Chain A
Amino acid sequence: DQQVKQNSPSLSVQEGRISILNCDYTNSMFDYFLWYKKYPAEGPTFLISISSIKDKNEDGRFTVFLNKSAKHLSLHIVPSQPGDSAVYFCAASENDYKLSFGAGTTVTVRA
């Protein structure tokens, strides 16, 4: 059973607007969460992470929010740019050096 769920397979957003990607998890033992970005024919690349002791982490245009009580995290991209068009994977770890991934959300940024 998938412990990390990304329920929106795709998201379309206009250039310059905010992209919000959501991720839910079922395992309360997860203590670290990561977002990866993947372009076609390339491997995933690390984007941003957050530990369970925080509720927000920001890196430039990317901000991740964590709501532990709801077992929910989100990635905000502001402003969205054409180069942000990619597949985004949410991942989580129990502090055991293994990552569990969601199914991914394909983001398309429209000009």
Chain B
Amino acid sequence: DAGITQSPRHKVTETGTPVTLRCHQTENHRYMYWYRQDPGHGLRLIHYSYGVKDTDKGEVSDGYSVSRSKTEDFLLTLESATSSQTSVYFCAAGPKGEVDYGYTFGSGTRLTVV
């Protein structure tokens, strides 16, 4: 969906280095999310935001931090990357309406920590 843009699309980084992933939305959604996708686990919530400067932890938040200084941008930072953080990261925003809770996802960032 063109409304959610993630950057970079691919990244290889070394263990111990900080990494920041970016998510930009053009749909003015209040809520934004970061998920990671791993085989056998599906999509797991890392952090989410319910407004500018308002964020909260998800189920797998250890080793990650987020920031949201503007409605349209949501950043995910790996403070010191580890091999266990090799994954595909998806940003989402929404919901599309009050009743269907449908969220729009970005195309993902494939992160490899070597």
A and B interact physically: yes
User: Which chain A residues have a beta carbon within 8 Å of chain B's beta carbons?
Assistant: 2, 4, 6, 32, 34, 36, 41-46, 49, 51, 89, 91, 93, 97-104
User: Which chain B residues have a beta carbon within 8 Å of chain A's beta carbons?
Assistant: 1, 4, 31, 33, 35, 40-45, 48, 50, 58-59, 90, 92, 95-96, 99-108
Are A101 and B43 in touch, CB under 8 angstroms? Answer: yes
> Lowest 10 A-B CB distances belong to which pairs?
A43-B105, A46-B102, A101-B43, A103-B42, A101-B42, A44-B105, A43-B107, A49-B100, A104-B42, A32-B101
Q: Report the separation of the CA atoms of residues A99 and B100 in the bound assembly, to the nearest whole angstrom.
A: 12
A33 CB to closest chain B CB (Å) equals: 9
B74 CB to closest chain A CB (Å) equals: 14
Are B43 and A44 in touch, CB under 8 angstroms? Answer: yes
CB closest chain-B residue, reference A97: B31
Are B41 and A43 in touch, CB under 8 angstroms? Answer: no
A selection of 16 A-B contacts at a CB cut-off of 8 Å is A2-B42, A34-B101, A43-B1, A43-B106, A43-B107, A46-B100, A46-B104, A49-B102, A89-B43, A97-B95, A99-B33, A99-B101, A100-B45, A100-B59, A101-B42, A102-B42
